[in-house]
Amino acid sequence: MTDTDRRGARARAATGDGTLDRRALLRTWAGAVLISFSAVFVRLADVEPVRSSFLRAAYALPAFAVLVLVSRRRAGRPVAGGLVGLGVVAGLFLGGDLFAWHSSIEHIGAGLGTVLPNLQVVLVGVAGVVLFRERPRPMFWLALPAVLVGVWLLGAVGEPVDVGGNVPFGVFLGVVTAVLYSVFLVVMRVARLRHPDASAIEVMGSATLGAALVTGAFAASQGVAAPAGEWPADGWLVLLALSSQVLAWVLLSSSIHRLPAALTSIALLIQPVLAMVWGAVLLGEELGLPQVAGAAVVLAGVAVAHRAVVAGVSPEVRS
């Protein structure tokens, strides 16, 4: 079988009968666009990172509760039992991820702050090799130096978006975000494997609960575990929770596995690219040529790594 034949087989496996699932494509793009606004909403809310990360999860919980209730009733399943323990555990890492990410945005802005968490593709790929015996193609390992060079460029150049900010520290927080997000994704995968009957909504709702517990503890320790109490800060945070944490996740979890790897790669990269555009256009964040070059190198490396990982995993595992 040639490489072309293999690619065609993977595409047919992803789409079912070889035709493109246009509804899945629209849901995937819509989810990616919604998530691309996340960092913009965080900056517009302009509250403490620990407060914004907590309220993002807390405001999303009622929506997830309703979605889980409706989905279980439609499936004829008991209302009780929609909580997935491993999903909550995964959410503990998600909470740390949100706190680190919201903190990084203060230093490097919405655009670059959204680029760095995509390093999770590389980290999850390594975890797949170690934990799940996956075998990505050699291009995965060749992409790693490019990713590291891009991260170095981002940390070595540029100015912070806020007075008193620190670009290298912001990049460090972005890398921490990617590490915690990678652990979250790995635990979520284990949760899906061990609880195949649980829906994506149930698992993500459980993870959001875990995130709310962690960020709530952080916020309580700093005396900010409460709404901002002013407009429009709370409005931006509600919009962040409902659009990025709830709707975008539902759209992506219901569609991305139905598409060929090439399209999922594009969806993966359009989010940070759009975030950089929104940061520049809506927030006036300045990006110099070295920063753009660093972001481009990171995203190019991530794209190659993503394709190599997906190519090395069977369709059954990916779904």
| 4 in a structural domain | no
d(CA 93, CA 154) in angstroms, rounded, equals 25
| 224 in a structural domain | yes
Can you give 17-33 as a three-state secondary structure string?
CCCCCHHHHHHHHHHHH
| 36 in a structural domain | no
d(CA 27, CA 7) in angstroms, rounded, equals 23
| 11 in a structural domain | no
Give me the pLDDT at residue 84, please: 92
d(CA 243, CA 297) in angstroms, rounded, equals 29
| 111 in a structural domain | yes
Q: 259-298 pLDDT, tens per residue?
A: 776 666 667 778 888 898 999 899 998 877 888 888 888 8
Give me the pLDDT at residue 164, please: 73
Q: Has residue 176 got a pLDDT over 50?
A: yes
d(CA 276, CA 109) in angstroms, rounded, equals 9
Query: How many angstroms separate the Cα of 129 from the Cα of each of 121, 160, 299?
Result: 12, 36, 21
Q: Give yes or no for a contact between 184 and 97, defined as CB atoms under 8 angstroms apart.
A: yes
Which residues have C-beta within 8 Å of that of residue 66, sequence separation ≥ 6? none
Domain that holds residue 111: 46-318
d(CA 260, CA 318) in angstroms, rounded, equals 11
What is the number of domains present in the chain? Answer: 1
Distance, CA of 57 to chain centre: 14
Please state whether the peptide bond connecting residue 232 to the residue before it is cis, i.e. omega within 30 degrees of 0: yes
- Output the average pLDDT for the chain: 84
| 16 in a structural domain | no
> Lowest mean pLDDT: which of 14-23, 186-195, 298-307?
14-23
Q: Has residue 207 got a pLDDT over 60?
A: yes
Q: 55-101 pLDDT, tens per residue?
A: 999 999 999 999 999 988 888 888 777 899 999 999 999 999 999 99
pLDDT above 70 as % of the chain: 87
Q: Give yes or no for a contact between 157 and 294, defined as CB atoms under 8 angstroms apart.
A: yes
The separation between the first and the last C-alpha atoms of the chain, rounded to the nearest angstrom, is: 23
Give me the pLDDT at residue 264, please: 67
